[in-house]
Amino acid sequence: MYTLNWQPPYDWQWMFGFLGARAVMGVETVTDTWYERSFACDGHQGVFRVTPDTDTCTLKITLSPGLVPVAPACLARIERLFDLTCEPQQVLETLGELGAARPGLRLPGSMDAWEQGVRAILGQLVSVAMAAKLAARVVALCGAPVKDCPDYLCFPTSDALAAADPLSLKALGMPIKRAESLIHLAQSVVDGTFPLTPPDDIDAGMKALQQRPGIGRWTANYLALRGWQAKDVFLPDDYLIKQRFAGMTPAQIRRYAERWQPWRSYALLHIWYTDGWSPLVDGEVTGVQQ
């Protein structure tokens, strides 16, 4: 048993709901009280489970035998996935009233930027549920079974997906261009040109991502938001954000969001998950739960 700490408040119900809606069959299991998934790292593979203890503000973690040799790396990734290093009071001071209604929201990260890149591409122009189904099909096609947990598969490696037949991926229910985009992404991981860790300049990194086939501005921003867990990303082209900022252009939305620097990623989450929120003419912001 391992433990990690966090600073309260932390809305675990929301976090598990967010991850549960996007859970990939064969890779992840999410309940109201714990999160479990397969993971591969440095030639080792297995399954871990995390269970929050809200009384002690600790995350209890169990690793299957295959992951014990890489326990420190697993814990570091888990810490990133659940945004455990966040200092919520610091964020809320900047967000003000926008963050007051839901002070425990954290930024869901990822266990692996490569995996999140695949999932971001699969999520283009489809529902959250459909994106999860597509990811599960890719896992079933290209994923490797977990030796000490036969009910699980590991998310496909970049080598496995780089060698995939684009027509086989297309047969899973995606356009051929999207299949080719996944293969190109995998090849860039294999050859070392895809940044698996956050670049020093996140904005430049997002612009570079947009030079890759099949990755537009929304996908690049979302990949940075979760794959790199960048804290200061906003998505002015997002469908729901454009609804919240009705009548404003993406450039106007981007300028408006500057007030939440350097925590625009958290502002984005609050706006997404606050029904009825809208910017006020006087420049202040409001959050209204309906």
Looking at residue 262, which CATH number applies to its domain? 1.10.1670.10
Helix (H) or strand (E) run with residue 144 in it: strand 144-145
107 vs 125, more confident = 107
Instruction: Measure the N-to-C terminal CA separation of the chain; round to a whole number of Å.
Output: 41
Of 54, 59, 55, 56, residue with least CA distance to 4: 59
Average per-residue pLDDT for the chain: 94
Q: Residue 168: which pLDDT band, with cuts at 50, 70 and 90?
A: very high
Is residue 139 in some structural domain? yes
CATH code of 205's domain: 1.10.340.30
Q: Which residues are CB-contacts of 240 (< 8 A; sequence separation ≥ 6)?
A: 272
Compute the distance between CA of residue 120 and CA of residue 282 in angstroms, rounded to an integer.
35
pLDDT tens track for 26-74: 999 999 999 999 999 999 999 999 999 999 999 999 999 999 999 999 9
pLDDT tens track for 220-260: 999 999 999 999 999 998 999 999 999 999 999 999 999 99
Distance of CA 253 to the CA centre of its chain: 22
Question: Based on the domain organization, do 51 and 140 belong to the same domain?
Answer: no
pLDDT tens track for 184-227: 999 999 999 999 999 999 999 999 999 999 999 999 999 999 99
- In this prediction, residue 281 carries a pLDDT of 59
- In this prediction, residue 289 carries a pLDDT of 30
Q: Residues 128-153, buried b or exposed e (16+ Cβ, 10 A)?
A: eeebbbbbbbbbebbbeebeebeebb
Domains in the chain, number: 3
pLDDT at 284 over 70: no
- Is 238 a residue of the active site? yes
Compute the distance between CA of residue 116 and CA of residue 226 in angstroms, rounded to an integer.
7
Q: What is the mean pLDDT of residues 146-166?
A: 95
Q: Which of 83, 112, 232, 238 is catalytic?
A: 238
Question: Based on the domain organization, do 217 and 121 belong to the same domain?
Answer: yes
Domain that holds residue 164: 113-227
Is residue 105 in some structural domain? no
Is residue 107 in some structural domain? no
- In this prediction, residue 280 carries a pLDDT of 77
